[in-house]
Amino acid sequence: MKVKGSLAGFMVALMMFCCNVHGQQLIADSGFAAQALRSCNTDLRHLNQVIGWQVKWPRQWQNTVVAGPEAAKEAIISWSQAPAAITLAIETLRLGISSKETAPHAVVVRVQQQIHDLLSDLTMTNSKYTFNSPTHNNAALWNTLISNSIVPSVSDFNQFLKKEYLPVASSDPSLSKVNNEAGCFLSAVSWWTTLNLSQKEIEDVGQRLLSESRHQLLATGQKGDTFKSMLKALRISTEDNNTSVNEIVSVSEMALTRAQSKTQLSFSKQITQKLIVSEMPKYLQDSAPAGYYAKAQENSPAKYIINTSRPNERRLMAEVIAFHEGIPGHHLWVAYPREIPSKGYNAGILEGWALYGEYLADEMNLYSSTYARQGMIAKHLWAASRLIVEPGLQLRGWSRVDAINFMMDNTVMSRQEIEIEVDRYIAMPGQSLSYMLGADMILSERKRARELLGDDFNIAAFHDVILEAGVRPLSEVRDDIRLWVQLVK
């Protein structure tokens, strides 16, 4: 981490004190999203409403409680360093104020709201982050740590953001003007996607995929329909239905059950690891995307964690998002039987595979209705639009409102959902591009393989080539596919 200003010595000392816990660093920042911005001067390295510490740490606190008092002893040692890590975060952000590297206002607003809501959850009676009626010594010590150390520190962070940082947060949604914007942004894109693409190449793929998705949507309509009229009708449908939270969970569960039963159609190996649908914590829902995948833990199965806020809006894309997060998407990737377990993180292949899984689910006839297929296409319009919106924000001088208006004109999502998405793109430049760029590479290579192999093409074998070697850069995935084609020929 680059240390700036007169507090450099203090920060280095505090980092050594607070963050070396059993060989691991405990840092209150934006998680691995900070790595994509390592060559950029921006406080986005420290503030992130999607995967920042205020999102990640509470999950771990809750896991400690679920694991029971016997498992809390080591957690108490580790998390006793959290207050010092939060103090360091405040001092780091104060340096960002002095060097005019503050994070964009929209990001700070969302993080501050999450911190505020987290405080409410931490201090409520029978909080899920503490043991109820603790009789075990470890449980009592854990509860004391939460109430006497962590709660005051989180409160300090909340007050700092609200009173000191938010009033001076950047009004520019792009990366700070102190950066070489094109170089910084394209570097972040490369980190997330593992592809080295120019602005034109990114935008060209976006325009092509938007055009393809528009035509696919029109093909599901009636004579006389236009793209604009169909968008309007679908958006109205998300406002006028009465879908309940239980229904949105049930639709997702049924979709995953169908997917599980039909994996033999396109895969040589079967997925046996359990996957359940779980509701997202309430304090995350207002600023979080539609859902995310959580790997299995020692005492709990893998989960598709679904955002159940505004279930009427989420009904349209409920099935496609379930396939993305579950089978044949993220869960299939993680649970796929391999000789060597897949390790590491690479958004290009992992998100690319999950979005490819949405197309594959259509080929496997997993969508239950035309409406569900329209939800798939609507999601692809959303994903393709990112390839226009992100360069617009970062390189073309678009405002946040410009980005929102573009997505209002080209997607089915409500304005509230679009605002959440645009703020995500602002917080994590380059990350959202990995989905469509990765899926497009897989689809393009599959088309090429089919053309070259003809009747010798086997979809299960093609998938094995991608899945068995696990996480690696997209260029290596392409090379593996092309080598397989040569061997089959």
**Would you state the structure tokens that stand for residue 118, as one six-digit string?**
């987290």
pLDDT of the residue at 9: 34
The number of angstroms, rounded, from the C-alpha of 3 to the middle of its chain's C-alpha atoms is 28
Q: Return left, alpha or beta for 464; rule: phi > 0 is left, psi -120 to 50 is alpha, else beta.
A: alpha
Q: Which residue is it, tokens 């060989």?
A: 23
Backbone φ, ψ for residue 300 (5° rounding): -150, 150
pLDDT score recorded for residue 24: 67
pTM above 0.85, yes or no: yes
Phi-psi region of 397 (alpha: psi -120 to 50; beta: other; left: phi over 0): left
10-residue block means of pLDDT along the chain (489 residues)? Answer: 35 37 75 91 95 94 92 93 97 96 97 96 95 93 97 98 98 81 91 96 98 98 96 92 94 97 94 94 80 87 94 95 97 94 91 98 97 98 98 96 98 93 96 98 98 97 97 97 96
Give the per-residue pLDDT at 342: 84
What confidence score (pLDDT) does residue 178 get? 67
Give the Cα-Cα-Cα angle 353, 357, 361 (nearest 5 degrees).
Answer: 170
